[in-house]
Amino acid sequence: MPENPVYPISTYFFPLNQLPSVPMEHKALSERPKPATGQGDDHPAPMVIDGLLTLTEFCHDAGRIPDAPVSKGYFTMSNGCPLEDPLLTERIDKLEGKNRMASQLIQDLNVVDTISHVTRERIPERYVHAKGVGAFGTFEVTNKDFTVSDYTDAKFLNATGKKTRLFARFSTVAGERGYPDTVRDTKGLAFKLYTEEGNLDWAFLNPEIFLIRDPAKFPSLVHATKRDPASNLPDANMFWDYFNNHPEGYNALMRIFSDEGVWKHTLVRIKLVPDPPIDPDNDYFDLCCATTMAGKDPDWLTRRLYDEITSAQKDPKNKYPTWKVMAQLVKDPSMSPVNIFDATKILPEALFPWKEFGKITLTECPQNFFTQVEQAAFNPANVVPGWDISPDPLLQIRLFAYGDTQRYRLGVNNDQLPTNRPCSYVYSPTRRDGAYNMTNYANARNYIRSDDNKNPPDNYNASFLDWSGKLERFKSAVDSTDYQQCYDHYKSMTAKLQKNFVTNVATSLCTAQMTTQDKSIGIFNQINSDLADQIKKALKERIACNKKLAQKSLGVVAGAEQPHELSYVPPTAPDPLTGVVYDIFDKM
């Protein structure tokens, strides 16, 4: 064990407050992200970004890639061999009248090589969180409400004002890589912090709780929220039917449908709060705005992040996107009225107040989306000394899932890609070879001798948990406690958000089958009978209007009376009654 005891912060749960997260002031959609200049060595050095922001941090250029090669006015093969003209093809030609026929030659090295490269350009998209945008920035220790180093000896947290470079990626969950980013969905925000003791990855979600607590339900959850296997269409019936059968997800679902441990060790739940904070009545998109925006600018959130960063680089009056990093310190888990490892529940703020200990600022757009963002691989198993793994059942399976999908999606050496490469000392020469190995430890020994570990570090991770027990076959049960927090959250919404919540649910439920609608109303009834009545009424009105529309318009499904009526008729998405907001860009 280390000489100084480690008080690990657990990678327990990482809620993100909300997106969009910064004020909607900037209208300019014009400028492309500015390529940053690749800089020198791996040592801490002062850095100036456009003369506006000075940082002192470990490894200031982590994740950057070399500048693009400059054209000399001619092209080459990938091996550097100069080409007369890259658009020429070598072929056997035959002219018959006006018809020029050709047989392409395999000896045309340039065409064969570029075509065979372009046909391999696509890599598998992320299984979930496929649509995303990334940026670089810093984490800074503020210790505003408590001194974080009292709880951990992670070096990047050991001094007020200490900065750590990071890469951030915002995402939606269910949609594919090209899907609109203003759709109703869980939102993800992942960080890779390039600390002096290795890379630490954080993965946050908004809402701040999750839809399941049993890892075995994950494949069903994802299937039901993506596309129908037969029609390849999003399907409200499949969606609501899944949640009606696993209603522990309603607590998170109610947030999505709104417009918005005591051991010696302290467990910590972390969230990010936008700075300045969100105004719930004015900053969120309602259903009509979000649907219109999804058509007018499906990449609106992506563009907005780039815009905010570039406009702050140009003019100090504009603020870089900034979040406060807050923690709930769980010194005594027995104080909690809910299972603290149930990801479908929040921890009451009155018992565990949120306290600020850091700040995140995003300052730099990517130089190349594919290399730095699409190939970014976040993994909750990437921890540093002082940051331990908690016994959260979802986290435990995620320790396997992320690395597994990344070995499939990016290959076994994805840790050598620019965004994923640690800046700190890495020495692990038994991890050798594999596809696309860039470094491979040259002639270093590829086995470990008994006398090799001469200089053990003084700061390393050793699990704080002491396990012994019997193997259990477990699946959680749903009871009335699963509905208690749902109504508390509804009551905390503003009147406008409450009203929109009812509309949002009715709009989504109205294309589901009647039996599914009834079951959902039954669950809302257990949450609160008045709320259930409001949803029932809104649903009835919506179905009646849609029925009239369905008589006149093709493609409108009004909500099937009988299950078989829906069959594989595609439900209308978006709902035909959703209004178009013509002045959407003026509104911002």
Binding site members: 402
CA–CA gap between residue 268 and residue 271 (Å, rounded): 10
C-alpha to C-alpha distances, 374 to 120, 254, 364, 406, 409, nearest whole angstrom: 15, 31, 16, 11, 10
Give the range of 32-40, 153-161, 199-207, 462-470 binding ligand HEM by CB under 6 A.
199-207
Distance of CA 140 to the CA centre of its chain: 21
Contacting residue, 294, 326, 330, 377, with ligand HEM by CB under 6 A: 377
- Contact between 250 and ligand HEM (CB under 6 A)? no
Q: Is 109 helix (H, G, I), strand (E, B) or coil?
A: helix
CA–CA gap between residue 313 and residue 199 (Å, rounded): 27
Distance of CA 569 to the CA centre of its chain: 32
- Contact between 218 and ligand HEM (CB under 6 A)? yes
User: Toward ligand HEM, which CB reaches closer, 306 or 402?
Assistant: 402
Q: 449: which residues sit within 8 A by CB, 6+ positions away?
A: none
Rg, C-alpha atoms of the chain:
27
- Contact between 371 and ligand HEM (CB under 6 A)? no
H or E segment at 267?
Answer: strand 267-274
Contacting residue, 12, 156, 210, 284, with ligand HEM by CB under 6 A: 210
The question of whether 129 is a catalytic residue gets the answer: yes
Site map (CB under 6 A) of ligand HEM, residues 113-152, x = contact: -------------xxxx--x--------------------
**Shortest distance in whole angstroms from residue 205 CB to ligand HEM:** 4
**Shortest distance in whole angstroms from residue 464 CB to ligand HEM:** 21
Task: Give the residue from 498, 422, 43, 533 showing the smallest Cα distance to 197.
Answer: 422
Give per-residue burial for 380-410: e unless 16+ CB within 10 Å, then b: bebbbbbbbbbbbbbbeebbebbbebbeebb
User: Toward ligand HEM, which CB reaches closer, 154 or 173?
Assistant: 173
Cis peptide before 23 (omega within 30 of 0): no
User: Toward ligand HEM, which CB reaches closer, 218 or 441?
Assistant: 218
Tokens describing residue 446: 């590829």
- Contact between 405 and ligand HEM (CB under 6 A)? yes
Find where tokens 């406060």 sit: 324
How are beta strands 99-104 and 91-96 bridged, if at all?
antiparallel
User: Toward ligand HEM, which CB reaches closer, 254 or 417?
Assistant: 417
- Contact between 321 and ligand HEM (CB under 6 A)? no
Size of the site for ligand HEM (CB under 6 A): 30
- Contact between 397 and ligand HEM (CB under 6 A)? yes
Contacting residue, 23, 215, 280, 333, with ligand HEM by CB under 6 A: 215
**Shortest distance in whole angstroms from residue 509 CB to ligand HEM:** 25
Judge whether 506 and 542 are in contact, CB under 8 Å: yes
* Eight-class DSSP state of 360: E
Tokens describing residue 70: 């400059």
Site map (CB under 6 A) of ligand HEM, residues 329-348, x = contact: --------------x-----
- Contact between 423 and ligand HEM (CB under 6 A)? no
DSSP string, 185-211: S-EEEEEEEEETTEEEEEEEEESSS-S
User: Toward ligand HEM, which CB reaches closer, 18 or 520?
Assistant: 18
Task: Give the residue from 317, 315, 267, 258 showing the smallest Cα distance to 290.
Answer: 258
- Contact between 236 and ligand HEM (CB under 6 A)? no
Give the range of 30-38, 280-288, 372-380, 500-508 binding ligand HEM by CB under 6 A.
372-380
- Contact between 407 and ligand HEM (CB under 6 A)? no
Contacting residue, 227, 409, 421, 540, with ligand HEM by CB under 6 A: 409
Rule CB under 6 A: which of 498-517 touch ligand HEM? none
For residue 53, which phi and psi values (nearest 5 degrees)? -135, 125
DSSP string, 386-440: TEEPP--HHHHHHHHHHHHHHHHHT-TTGGGSTTT--SS----TTS---TT-S-T
Q: List the catalytic residue out of 43, 117, 129, 564.
A: 129
**Shortest distance in whole angstroms from residue 408 CB to ligand HEM:** 9
**Shortest distance in whole angstroms from residue 238 CB to ligand HEM:** 19
- Contact between 172 and ligand HEM (CB under 6 A)? no
Tokens describing residue 7: 């008080």
CB atoms within 10 A of CB 113: 13
- Contact between 14 and ligand HEM (CB under 6 A)? yes
Judge whether 256 and 234 are in contact, CB under 8 Å: no
- Contact between 207 and ligand HEM (CB under 6 A)? no
Give the range of 75-83, 101-109, 113-121, 398-406 binding ligand HEM by CB under 6 A.
398-406
Q: Which residue is nearest to ligand HEM (CB)?
A: 188
Binding site for ligand HEM (CB under 6 A): 13-14, 126-129, 132, 169, 171, 188-190, 203-205, 210, 215, 218, 343, 376-378, 394, 397-398, 401-402, 405-406, 409
The catalytic residue positions are 129
